[in-house]
């Protein structure tokens, strides 16, 4: 089998057996990037020299019998993670040629465990988007195509669109990603791979460019549920440098993938049958319930009454926090500075920020500034945080009766580049099923479960109790087993 088709577990086994070297494994992926990235634009910055150096070091350790859990595993790193000595852009012009003098905790954990960095993957600017079309480095193409329609280029979803496309197209074995309103799960669903947003606090936010601090969580993307479990096991863990990091041990997520469904109670929220949801998504959801029932789980209808308010709540909280988080990009200490002769400090700020941020980021900064401004705080931000409390309470009540919740990941399959672009609100609706888990801080996993009539991947989402990723992985793995999803995208390494 081609080295780019391996799972992480298979690759680890092959490396240890010396069936191939880490350098060979890295080179196979670098070749794939060289071949496909010009079209897909999944990587903003491939780092081949770094990858080969990492791989050589991995081969040394393997030879010495000192392999670590991810020794030699080539990964894509979302360009929202600060990587020491490697330009980090957040998909924005405003960071200019910013080269972080530090390594994010999550990537440091992965490298501590032996992972190889292939490069920095593309994303929506500052992770704001559901299409990857807002990146200052250009859109990413979804490696999947509609059946019989090679002409229409599809979006990979967002904001972790580069990571999703890279994993799906076999440019890497796995990737890091972040999820503020669905940015791991929606692109995973659009690209036919798996991705998990863990519980808020499970992964350190230190060194990840902030979008909305109370919602941002890092997580992995990979082609199988188990590979996600392996990667998350390395990424997660308490970090004293992040005040919101949870002081909890990291369970054996991979082992959880084998837990049986028997006796589990799976909730299906009636409010997720949203108007306009396609029949095939509804059918897939029913299919998911049937698969779990067949494996011994009990399906229960539950109610999450404040579901419909989740998106508007999100679009107050996230822009408000973002407007403040992005104030530091001012052209003074790092990044882009745009200045004309005679400019005052304020003119320099306005020019730098006006030109450095793209349209969607500017839009959200303005919304966030407005909802926090004098006289509106109570009506918008405070109100939203109260509704958020009600949304969290809905989940708490539901989890008194069920062990996990099953929903579709997104209301549609991947759409074409340029579609849904005129109206921001239409674009925002992509996150209708995913955003609730961010607001409540809960873990959510998207698993590829089937294909649409057009031949595009569709995902199912499993949401769990706070810090119960184990059950989420177990249910996700059960769906994965039943679905037997083996379809592969048109654009892929060796494809």
The catalytic residue among 159, 160, 204, 234 is: 159
Q: How far is the CB of 467 from other proteins (least distance, A)?
A: 9
Annotated active-site residue 344? The verdict is: no
Q: How far is the CB of 115 from other proteins (least distance, A)?
A: 19
The separation between the first and the last C-alpha atoms of the chain, rounded to the nearest angstrom, is: 13
- Between 194 and 427, whose beta carbon lies closer to other proteins? 427
Q: How far is the CB of 193 from other proteins (least distance, A)?
A: 25
- Between 3 and 80, whose beta carbon lies closer to other proteins? 80
Report residue 279 as tokens.
């029949």
Say how far apart CA 409 and CA 426 lie, in whole Å.
Answer: 16
Residue whose structure tokens are 């020019």:
351
State the DSSP code for 180: S
| 8 A C-beta contact, residue 91 and residue 135 | yes
Closest CA to 221 of 251, 198, 200: 198
Q: How far is the CB of 151 from other proteins (least distance, A)?
A: 30
DSSP H or E segment with residue 112 = helix 105-112
DSSP H or E segment with residue 179 = strand 174-179
Beta pairing, strands 43-46 & 404-408: unpaired
The catalytic residue among 78, 120, 197, 420 is: 78
- Between 34 and 390, whose beta carbon lies closer to other proteins? 390
Angle between helices 48-63 and 8-17 (to 10 degrees): 50
User: What is the CA 75 to chain-centroid distance, rounded?
Assistant: 14
| 8 A C-beta contact, residue 228 and residue 196 | yes
Say how far apart CA 176 and CA 75 lie, in whole Å.
Answer: 8
334-343: long-range contacts, CB 8 A cutoff, minimum separation 24: 334/95, 334/96, 334/98, 335/94, 335/95, 335/96, 335/98, 336/93, 336/94, 336/95, 336/96, 337/96
- Between 202 and 226, whose beta carbon lies closer to other proteins? 202
H helix runs in 215-260, sequence order: 225-235, 253-256
Question: Largest Cα–Cα distance of the chain, in whole Å?
Answer: 72
Say how far apart CA 128 and CA 124 lie, in whole Å.
Answer: 5
| 8 A C-beta contact, residue 116 and residue 49 | no
H helix runs in 114-224, sequence order: 161-168, 185-191
Say how far apart CA 30 and CA 158 lie, in whole Å.
Answer: 23
DSSP H or E segment with residue 447 = strand 444-451
Q: How far is the CB of 231 from other proteins (least distance, A)?
A: 20
Q: How far is the CB of 218 from other proteins (least distance, A)?
A: 11
Annotated active-site residue 159? The verdict is: yes
Q: How far is the CB of 45 from other proteins (least distance, A)?
A: 16
The catalytic residue among 88, 130, 135, 183 is: 183
Q: How far is the CB of 465 from other proteins (least distance, A)?
A: 11
Active site residues: 78, 159, 183
């Amino acid at each position: 089998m081609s080295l780019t088709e391996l799972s992480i577990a298979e690759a680890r086994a092959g490396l240890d057996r010396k069936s191939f070297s880490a350098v060979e494994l890295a080179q196979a992926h670098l070749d794939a990037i060289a071949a496909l990235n010009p079209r897909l634009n999944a990587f903003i910055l491939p780092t081949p020299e770094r990858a080969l150096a990492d791989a050589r070091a991995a081969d040394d350790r393997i030879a010495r019998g000192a392999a670590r859990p991810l020794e030699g595993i080539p990964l894509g790193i979302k360009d929202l993670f600060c990587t020491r000595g490697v330009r980090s852009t957040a998909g924005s012009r405003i960071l200019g040629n910013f080269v972080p003098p530090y390594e994010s905790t999550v990537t440091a954990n992965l490298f501590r465990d032996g992972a190889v960095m292939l490069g920095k993957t593309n994303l929506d600017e500052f992770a704001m988007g559901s299409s990857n079309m807002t990146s200052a480095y250009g859109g990413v193409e979804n490696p999947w195509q509609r059946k019989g329609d090679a002409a229409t280029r599809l979006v990979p979803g967002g904001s972790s669109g580069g990571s999703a496309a890279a994993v799906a197209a076999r440019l890497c074995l796995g990737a890091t990603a972040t999820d503020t309103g669905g940015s791991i799960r929606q692109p995973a669903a659009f690209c036919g791979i798996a991705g998990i947003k863990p519980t808020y606090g499970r992964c350190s936010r230190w060194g990840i460019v902030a979008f909305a601090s109370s919602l941002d969580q890092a997580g992995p993307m990979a082609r199988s549920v188990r590979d996600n479990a392996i990667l998350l096991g390395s990424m997660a863990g308490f970090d004293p440098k992040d005040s919101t990091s949870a002081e909890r041990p990291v369970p054996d997520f991979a082992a959880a993938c084998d837990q049986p469904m028997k006796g589990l109670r799976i909730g299906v929220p009636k409010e997720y049958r949203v108007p306009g949801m396609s029949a095939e998504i509804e059918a897939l959801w029913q299919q998911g319930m049937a698969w779990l029932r067949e494996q011994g789980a009990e399906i229960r209808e539950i109610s999450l009454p404040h579901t419909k308010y989740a998106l508007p709540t999100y679009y107050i909280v996230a822009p408000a926090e973002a407007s403040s988080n992005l104030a530091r990009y001012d052209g003074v200490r790092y990044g882009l500075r745009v200045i004309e002769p005679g400019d005052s400090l304020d003119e320099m700020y306005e020019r730098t920020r006006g030109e450095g941020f793209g349209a969607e980021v500017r839009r959200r900064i303005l919304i966030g500034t407005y909802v926090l401004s004098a006289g509106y705080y109570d009506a918008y931000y405070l109100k939203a945080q109260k509704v958020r409390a009600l949304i969290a309470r809905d989940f708490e009540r539901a989890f008194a009766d069920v062990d996990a919740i099953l929903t579709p990941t997104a209301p549609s399959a991947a759409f074409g580049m340029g579609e849904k672009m005129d109206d921001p609100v239409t674009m925002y609706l992509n996150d209708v099923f995913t955003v609730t888990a961010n607001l409540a801080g809960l873990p959510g996993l998207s698993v590829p479960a089937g294909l649409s009539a057009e031949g595009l991947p569709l995902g199912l989402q499993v949401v769990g109790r706070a810090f119960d990723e184990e059950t989420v992985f177990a249910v996700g793995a059960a769906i994965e087993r039943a679905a037997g999803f083996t379809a592969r995208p048109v654009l892929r390494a060796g494809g």
